[in-house]
Each structure stands twice: as C-alpha cells, then as structure tokens.
C-alpha cells in the first residue's frame, strides 16, 4: 500500500509509523485512519515492536476539523464505528508491543490514540488534552475506556470535564503514561526502549498483553486460570528454553521471537 499521510519504516525488527500531516498538527482524517490501521496490521506481522510518533511539533491534534461544513455535518457515530474502531482495535490487538512516542501535543482523539498503546513515552514539552467538551462532545477514540483504567475515575472525570492541558510530567506522575523524558533525550530513549523490546521474548510479550488487558474483565479465579494457561504456553516456547540455558550459562539470552 502506498501511504500518503504517514510514513512506515522497519529496521532491526522495529516498525516506526510516523503521522505526517505536520501542517495540520497531524490531525486525523479518513485516509490517515485507514493508513494507520493498515500499517499497524502489517507491522504486527513483520516486526517485533511497533512505534507510532508524529512529524513536526505535534503528535496528533485529534480529528481534522479544518473543513467547518464537513465537520459540522459529520456522522460521528458512523465515523467512530467504521474508521476509529478498526484503527484502535488494530493497535490493542497487535501481537507485538506497541509504543506511542509522543513528541508534542496530543489532543482529543490524538491523546486517546496515544493512550491505547501498550507503552507511552512522551517528551517533557508534550501535553495531553481531552479537548472534547470545548466543542460539546464526550471523549472518544477509546478515551472513556483507557482513562479510568489508567488514572482512576476521579482524575479521568476531571480530565474529561475540564479539558485542561495535562503536561507530560503530570501524566507521568498520575500513571497516565509510562515515562516523560527530557526533550534532548526523547528520541534516543524511545529508540532504546523499542530496541529492548525488539530483542526480547516476543511470545511472552504477546501473552502479557492478553493477561493484563483481561484482568479488568476477570475475577481472581478467572485471572488465575488465564495466567496458568498463558504461562503453560510460554513454557513450551524456544524463548523459555533459551532463557533457562542463558541463565545457567550466565550470559544474556538470545531470543528468536516468533
């Protein structure tokens, strides 16, 4: 597929998807959503970690509202169901770890696009904003699912109602993201994190994602059964055998992935 609104590169088992509409702060339109969906699905098959980041000064400013007439008459339910859901499901269902490398402003649907990733790493000058009430809407793009789970109901409610800017440092402190790093160290940090995951036990990572996401729906008994099943599957992988041998030989393991 020829991409026009994003770039897609794979090197050393790391797929990097860059939102490339910098002139509109990487606002999401129909084509970009379709291209993100396709690229994430392709990366899940071809790479061992997927990184989503933005070109220019912003990560993503959310839904493209540049055409006032089109925006005002948009069938929001259809757009969310037919365009956002496939994109978000591609990210949450990706079989390899996903990282949102938030290089700048992440607002509205752009904030929630970042938050559905497995790990969010932000530069300290970045910020997150649930901007929806400023135009009479509720958080969407998975925001009502992700926020209460990540920061609790009280903080999620305040973020949604007040639509305040939440700095990357604040987001880090409240558990919304994994880490905020100084701007000068941002690119090197997410690249190092991605490289670490790309060289890790891919089969175990996939099952970690399944187990942790399932924890919100299961009681303890069901979760323990899920853990047992997934751990049993991990115990049959080449990575587990390699991990044991490497431990006994006192050397770093060399995981093969899938």
pLDDT tens per residue, range 185-230: 999 999 999 999 999 999 999 999 999 999 999 999 999 999 999 9
Residues 178 and 209 in one domain: no
Supply the Cα-derived Rg of the chain in whole angstroms. 19
Indicate whether 130 belongs to any domain: yes
Indicate whether 174 belongs to any domain: yes
CA dist 207 and 226 (Å) reads: 10
Indicate whether 256 belongs to any domain: no
CA dist 121 and 164 (Å) reads: 20
Domain range for 83 is: 6-198
Question: Of 165, 183, 198, which residue is a domain's last?
Answer: 198
Note the maximum CA span of the chain: 66
Residues 223 and 95 in one domain: no
Residues 138 and 232 in one domain: no
pTM to 2 decimals?
A: 0.94
Residues 52 and 174 in one domain: yes
Residues 149 and 244 in one domain: no
CA dist 31 and 20 (Å) reads: 12
Question: Of 159, 176, 198, which residue is a domain's last?
Answer: 198
Residues 169 and 60 in one domain: yes
Indicate whether 19 belongs to any domain: yes
162-172: pLDDT as tens digits:
999 999 999 99
Beta carbons of 176 and 129 less than 8 angstroms apart: no
Residues 188 and 208 in one domain: no
Nearest to 145, CA basis, from 108, 173, 116, 179: 116
CA dist 191 and 161 (Å) reads: 35
Instruction: Report the domain count for the chain.
Output: 2
Residues 181 and 101 in one domain: yes
105-160: pLDDT as tens digits:
999 999 999 999 999 999 999 999 999 999 999 999 999 999 999 999 999 999 99
Residues 162 and 232 in one domain: no
Residues 64 and 168 in one domain: yes
**CATH of residue 126:** 3.90.226.10
**DSSP 3-state helix, strand, coil percentages of the chain (rounded to 5)?**
50, 15, 30
CA dist 234 and 241 (Å) reads: 10
Residues 125 and 194 in one domain: yes
Residues 83 and 191 in one domain: yes
DSSP state letter for 248? H
Q: How confident is the model at residue 74 (pLDDT cuts 50, 70, 90)?
A: confident
The arithmetic mean of pLDDT across residues 1-7, rounded, is 93
Question: Of 183, 198, 213, which residue is a domain's last?
Answer: 198
pLDDT of residue 68: 54
């Amino acid at each position: 597929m020829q991409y026009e609104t994003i770039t897609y590169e794979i090197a050393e088992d790391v797929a990097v998807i860059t939102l490339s509409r910098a002139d509109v702060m990487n606002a999401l339109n129909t084509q970009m959503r379709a291209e993100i969906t396709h690229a994430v699905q392709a990366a899940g098959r071809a790479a061992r970690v997927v990184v989503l980041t933005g070109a220019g000064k912003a990560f993503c400013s959310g839904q493209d509202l540049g055409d006032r007439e089109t925006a005002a008459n948009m069938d929001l339910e259809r757009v969310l169901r037919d365009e956002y859901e496939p994109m978000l499901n591609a990210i949450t269902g990706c079989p390899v770890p996903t990282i949102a490398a938030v290089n700048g402003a992440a607002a509205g649907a752009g904030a929630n696009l970042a938050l559905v990733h497995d790990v969010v790493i932000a530069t300290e000058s970045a910020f997150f904003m649930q901007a929806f009430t400023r135009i009479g809407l509720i958080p969407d793009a998975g925001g009502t699912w992700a926020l209460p789970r990540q920061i609790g109901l009280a903080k999620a409610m305040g973020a949604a109602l007040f639509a305040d800017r939440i700095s990357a440092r604040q987001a880090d402190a409240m558990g919304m993201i994994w880490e905020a790093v100084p701007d000068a160290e941002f690119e090197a940090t997410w690249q190092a994190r991605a490289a670490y995951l790309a060289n890790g036990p891919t089969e175990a990572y996939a099952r970690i994602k399944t187990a942790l996401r399932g924890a919100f729906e299961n009681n303890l008994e069901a979760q323990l059964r899920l853990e047992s099943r997934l751990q049993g599957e991990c115990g049959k992988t080449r990575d587990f055998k390699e991990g044991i041998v490497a431990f006994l030989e006192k050397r770093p393991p060399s995981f093969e992935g899938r």
